[in-house]
A and B are shown apart, each in its own frame.
Chain A
Amino acid sequence: MAKLLILGAGTAGTMTANLLRKALDASWSITVVDQDTEHHYQPGYLFIPFWMEPERVVKDCREFLPDGVEFVEAAIERVDPRAQQVHLADDRTLAYDWLVIATGTRPDPTLVEGMAEALAEHTTVHQFFTLEGATALKAALASFDSGRLLVHVSEMPIKCPVAPLEFAFLVEDHYRKRRLRHKVDITYVTPLDGAFTKPVASKELGGLLKDRSIRLAADFAVEKVDAQRKVLVAYDGRELPFDLLVTIPPNVGQQYVVDSGLGNDAGFIPVDKHTLRSVEHERIFVLGDASDIPTSKAGSVAHFAAEQFVGNFLAAIDGRSLPHSFDGHANCFVESGRGQALLLDFNYDTEPLKGTFPAGLIGPMKLLKPARVNHLGKLAFEQIYWNMLLPGRKLPVPNEMSMAGKHLPDAGEKE
């Protein structure tokens, strides 16, 4: 019997298990390993500080794995690609013929001086990239009614790279609705040279922060968090004082990836960006955020990649060349506050453009422009995620990015 082992029961791992169980016959065993049984709807973390109940984002991951897939609850200690074995923390060893790594990324605040200690206090420094962090931030926002609030990105790449910007817009809206906006000074702090860095997006959306009176601190390479003095310090000597700091710590790969010698300096696994096959080990594929592909770390990318991966995997186990080439397609709803959202659709080669997106269910959506329909799309996605995306059902969105409805910047289109 051939053995497929999938590490991680998150978005990518669950989709892969569902898709491959359908595609592989009974001569294959499929085992999924995860350190716990909780599956979190991570896009919900953004809403928890404002209105979503924390319990709502958590379900049992085993509910979403199909019959014929074995689940092993254990922490992973090390992958031995030469012996084709995975060592678990409870001393068990699992052998594999083929390995799919889908253990994603995690925030690592220890990489910035003072950040981990400050976050642990849950007083003036918070994050929302974990369920615990998002829940604590909800309480912090409830009692914070005046002062300087920083929304801070430590460095790229991060999971869901637009989430901090969405948080800035939502927190602005939060204080506007509480009629405290004039007492809360909001600054968006980024290591990049602006909130929007791609030409069309920066032209279209560059004014959005200013319109909401959100300050921008760009090119800010953080050196340390000084929680005592309540300042964020940059390598160039700049200091930003805060009363509440909402930070996105550096995001890295899992420790076992590093310990196994599989990752790059940040713990992400180098793969061929078109096939997701490990550069070093041909029997390892990496799906979702755990790889080093140069596109957003996001569930939509994992989804588009996973469907193409199935054809490639079936070819790989037959020893054929891989037929599909993943284009890096990403599709993200970006909350912009005021009950609206933007929609982005892009890939490795095409930056987010203006135009319309032909979505099957609720009609054409506006790209790169705040609109109510996009916000409703984002809310509807929660049900799509649990009921269609994880089980590996076809979504009414093509896996490869399409230029239909998009406006090329050179077209001289006026609006």
Chain B
Amino acid sequence: MPTNTINGRSFEVDEEGFFVNRDEWSEDLAKDLAPLIGIELDEEHLAPLRFMRDDAAASGVTPTLRRMQTVGGFDIKTLFALYPGKPAKKMSWLAGLRKPVGCV
């Protein structure tokens, strides 16, 4: 597996750049990563990421957008405004989680 380094911090990633080890993530690291996809991580952007981190720690899987809405209380349209285009993928990447996948 390749390793990425940004501002002196290294973390292992898969072929698409998603974190392999959830524990190598930190909020500071996310703040450094966000500009790479054109996002400035303020509190509003961080809130869904924090929910995803806590939820995935308990369930072992990246939460779906529906779960973000029903359990996390986030409005899906707001998530699309915060993370335009592909919020599920962008947020998993920034939260240090695996992207949502199917079985194949």
Contacts and interface: CB of A to CB of B under 8 A. Distances in A.
B48 to A, nearest CB: 14
A294 B64 contact: no
B36 interface: no
Contacts of B85: 219, 236
Contacts of A162: 102-104
Contacts of A36: none
Contacts of B99: 193, 197
B77 A199 contact: no
A111 interface: yes
A266 B67 contact: yes
B4 interface: no
A57 B44 CA distance: 51
A273 B60 contact: yes
Interface of B: 14-16, 59-61, 64-67, 70-71, 76-77, 80, 84-89, 99-104
B61 A161 contact: no
Given A161-B104, A165-B104, 20 more contacts: A155-B65, A156-B64, A156-B102, A191-B100, A193-B89, A197-B99, A197-B101, A198-B101, A198-B104, A205-B104, A221-B76, A221-B80, A221-B88, A265-B66, A265-B67, A265-B71, A270-B59, A294-B61, A296-B103, A334-B104
A196 B64 contact: no
B67 A161 contact: no
A250 interface: yes
Give the interface SS of chain A, mostly helix, strand, loop or mixed.
loop
Top 5 A-B pairs, shortest CB-CB distance: A197-B101, A296-B103, A265-B70, A201-B104, A219-B86
B103 A219 contact: no
A391 B59 CA distance: 33
B100 A192 contact: yes
B104 A155 contact: no
A146 B66 CA distance: 34
B80 A236 contact: yes
A7 interface: no
Contact of A344 (B67, B84, B104): B104
Contact of B80 (A111, A193, A235, A295): A235
A330 interface: yes
A377 to B, nearest CB: 17
Interface string A188-215: 0011110011110100010000000000
B89 A219 contact: yes
Contact of A192 (B15, B61, B101): B101
Contacts of B87: 221
Contacts of B84: 236
Contacts of A201: 104
A265 B85 CA distance: 25
Given A192-B101, A193-B86, A197-B102, A155 B77 contact: no
Of B67, B85, B103, chain A has the most CB atoms within 10 Å of the CB of B103
Interface string A400-412: 0000000000000
Of B16, B85, B99, B100, chain A has the most CB atoms within 10 Å of the CB of B100
Nearest to B67: A265
Contacts of B15: 199
A221 B80 CA distance: 10
A52 B103 CA distance: 26
Of B67, B77, B104, chain A has the most CB atoms within 10 Å of the CB of B104
Interface in A245-292: 250, 265-266, 270, 273, 292
Contact of A250 (B14, B16, B66): B66
Of A196, A199, A236, chain B has the most CB atoms within 10 Å of the CB of A236
Nearest to A270: B59
Nearest to B66: A155
A156 B100 contact: yes
Interface string A343-381: 010100000100000000000000000000000000000
B65 to A, nearest CB: 6
A156 B16 CA distance: 21
B104 to A, nearest CB: 4
16 contacts: A155-B66, A161-B103, A162-B104, A190-B102, A191-B88, A196-B104, A205-B104, A219-B86, A219-B88, A219-B89, A236-B85, A250-B66, A265-B66, A273-B60, A344-B103, A352-B104
Nearest to A203: B15
Contacts of B76: 221, 223, 235
Contacts of B64: 155-156
Contacts of A352: 103-104
Contacts of A197: 99-102, 104
Interface string A218-244: 010101000000000001100000000
Contacts of B86: 193, 219
